[in-house]
Amino acid sequence: MSDNTTYFVNKPANDRARVILQKSEDWYNEMHTSGYYDKLRTMWQAYHGVSFDGGESHSINFAGEQGELTQISVNDIRNIATNIINMVTATRPAMRCRAVNTDYKSYVQTKLGNGLLDYYLRDHRLENYFKNAVEYAVVLASGYVKLAWNATAGDEVEWNDDLNIPIHQGDLEFDNLSPFDVYFDIHREDSKHDWVVCRTFKNRWDLAAKYPEFAEEILALPTKDKLEKFSGLTTTTSDTDLIPVFEFYHERTDSVKDGLYHLFLSENVTLLESPMPYRKLPVYSIMPARFLGTPFGYTQMFDLLPLEDATNILYSTILTNQVAFGVQNIAVQQGSNLNVTELSGGLNMIEVDMRNGPGIQALQLTQTPKEIFDMIKMLDSKKETISGVNPVTRGNPPASLTSGTALALVQSMSLQFISGLQQAYVAMQEDVGTGIINTLKDHANTKRVAAIVGKNNRTELKEFSGDDLSGVNRCIVDIDNPLASTTAGKMEIAKDLLQMQAIKTYQQYMTVLTTGKLDDLMEDTVSELFLIKDENEIMMEGGDVQAVFTDEHLLHINEHKVVLSDPVLRRDPKLVAKVTAHMQEHLDALKYTDPNTLMALGQQPILPPQGAPMPPQQGQQAPPANAPAEMLPIQPPTQALQTGAEMTNLPSLPQIPDGAVLPNPALNDEQMAQLAAMQNR
């Protein structure tokens, strides 16, 4: 009898392991008894070209009592499934971190988090794990990405003398799991699972070396080729050293306050048990749809299986007829006295008696009824309707569609049809990204270095630890417009941006054309907004900030006034004075910075009214706000003076009274007296 007095998770390790293995077997048995296992196996065979009771689609097979039936498989299922997978995963995930707060420090941490997500996508090939999970989901109705923190990975940072082992930085590891490797409570009707069991296969000799205290028991466990249960899809007779490793995760709940992690090989071999090391279950799923009322996944590819069988039968019928009667038979009238030798070869003159019949005739038996070909076309059309993969996506556009825009629109409709799978793909990426950030925050206790791609795809080494991500809350993924996922759509976007002058360089144009993303075009603006938020926080804390002539002055003015829009902050006269003075600095910069400099930066200077003092030349210090008129720079002449040229806009000369003689140091007293006498005549 079962023990109903204690939750199985709270039982001793051996008893718990026995219950977990029984629940895993219950999951496997439910797949068999419901026919779900056979459905997955048939789907796996069709996707990999195994059909006609085990016959290979990559060769022609013969059946029947005497091998008179010719069988051929066209494998439309793999073509359709591959197109769906490519449509969903064509665009690289745009994973972005979201901060807990809107302060500048949190924004800086989100930039670090974005770089780390890109680092794991690129250097740890996380994108490949996403694609593999989508392939599992399309073909086998569900796919999984498992995240784990490996404390023995990474560089060695110190040595533990007590345990006589090195201590490493640790790092994240990822695994793909199939529907045969992940087990939940079979009675759950939703995805809100309290626990999950994962099965992976490891080399028993490596495990024996890592856990020497269990070496004898580990080496005695049955290997993968000896197992009848949990065997998956493929069977093999060759020996292997792989043995199943089970990991059990339980959420933190009322009955299990700290959660639970249990690593074991059998009910008698427990390698590790500890409180739940992650904030959420580290197994992330993707399913195109669900069997209602069950935790099992559903894919529209199931609906194509009978259509695929019917198509293969019709193609085999046509081929059988061609093979059987492709070499023509000849009918002759009885008594014609012709033999095979006389009919063989060419350039033979054959005499027949036409009085008793038409003579020699070829039997035309290779003709196939038109209805068979019509049926094949109908089945192909039905497959495309069910899967949402139209002829344009499959590379066979109708002759009526000639423009790139029309082709892009039709292809985008396919993307919209599979939007449910795409949303599941996005949700999985967001969950994995959030799991990465949270795991690094909780376990990356030592400084580590990651190669992070910055502006203009330049890579820099960034040192970080978990504390540097404390302000990051979760990860979000941006969904691209379906039109932006097509080549024609990207071209239209690039042309529009070029006309709007949002694209200024050839590199920006090619980036939009190849990726459809606008991040590079917005990076300068985003950096400027980060600077403004930082300045707002400094002023609210009583600090001083300074305007620089290279700032986006109008953007700064509009964003700084947000501080004064808060009724509480507006009651602080010192803050109001500080913010308004800083906004005046930006206005002064627009007035007194060299207009050519501002226009080169793409900003419009504030020009003084006609006749007003001109701004100082570049390098001169702008006068302070509300400066008196005598402190403003004098307006220079608008035209240079040249010898012999017409002199205009000259300053008025002072009036010299009659008889006045201006002193001239170049003349002596006698010469000055003579000059005065000449002027008085």
Note down the domain range covering 585: 518-611
Query: Given a cut of 70, is residue 672 above it in pLDDT?
Result: no
- In 10 A of CB 508, how many CB atoms? 17
Q: In 418-455, which positions are buried (b, 16+ CB within 10 angstroms) versus exposed (e)?
A: beebbebbbebbbbbbbbbbbbbbebbeeebebebeee
User: Once rounded to an integer, what is the mean pLDDT over residues 544-556?
Assistant: 90
Within-domain flag for 559: yes
The full DSSP string for 639-673 is: S---TTSPP-SPPPPPPPPTT-----TTS-HHHHH
Query: Per-residue pLDDT tens for 346-362?
Result: 666 666 666 656 666 66
Query: Given a cut of 60, is residue 622 above it in pLDDT?
Result: no
Within-domain flag for 291: no
pLDDT score at 605: 87
Within-domain flag for 448: no
Residue with the larger pLDDT of the pair 239 and 647: 239
pLDDT score at 145: 96
Within-domain flag for 655: no
Tell me phi and psi for residue 607, to 5 degrees.
Answer: -85, 140
pLDDT score at 593: 87
Query: Given a cut of 60, is residue 211 above it in pLDDT?
Result: yes
Query: Given a cut of 60, is residue 263 above it in pLDDT?
Result: yes
Give the three-class secondary structure for 219: helix
Percent of the chain with pLDDT over 70: 64
Residue with the larger pLDDT of the pair 673 and 272: 272
pLDDT score at 646: 44
User: Once rounded to an integer, what is the mean pLDDT over residues 424-436?
Assistant: 90
pLDDT score at 17: 95
Residue with the larger pLDDT of the pair 163 and 415: 163
User: Once rounded to an integer, what is the mean pLDDT over residues 220-238?
Assistant: 70
**Band of the pLDDT at 456, cuts 50, 70, 90?**
very low
Query: Given a cut of 70, is residue 225 above it in pLDDT?
Result: yes
pLDDT score at 578: 92
Within-domain flag for 578: yes
pLDDT score at 63: 81
pLDDT score at 234: 61
pLDDT score at 673: 63
Residue with the larger pLDDT of the pair 671 and 590: 590
Please name which of 319, 346, 351 lies closest in space to residue 333, comparing C-alpha atoms.
351
Q: How far is CA 654 from each of CA 535, 651, 664, 676, rounded to the nearest angstrom?
A: 53, 9, 17, 19
- In 10 A of CB 589, how many CB atoms? 21
Residue with structure tokens 């910075």?
Answer: 593
**Band of the pLDDT at 643, cuts 50, 70, 90?**
very low
Within-domain flag for 88: no
pLDDT score at 299: 93
Query: Per-residue pLDDT tens for 184-201?
Result: 998 888 788 999 999 999
Contact predicate 83/90, CB 8 Å: no
pLDDT score at 301: 92
Q: What is the mean pLDDT of the chain?
A: 77
Say how many domains are in the chain. Answer: 1
Within-domain flag for 600: yes
Query: Per-residue pLDDT tens for 392-401?
Result: 555 566 555 5
Residues whose CB falls within 8 Å of the CB of residue 107, separated by 6 or more in sequence, listed in order: 99, 530, 533
pLDDT score at 636: 41
Residue with the larger pLDDT of the pair 324 and 183: 183
Query: Per-residue pLDDT tens for 19-36?
Result: 999 999 999 889 989 999
Contact predicate 503/509, CB 8 Å: yes
Give the three-class secondary structure for 509: helix
User: Once rounded to an integer, what is the mean pLDDT over residues 291-306?
Assistant: 91
pLDDT score at 619: 46
Within-domain flag for 541: yes
**Band of the pLDDT at 385, cuts 50, 70, 90?**
confident
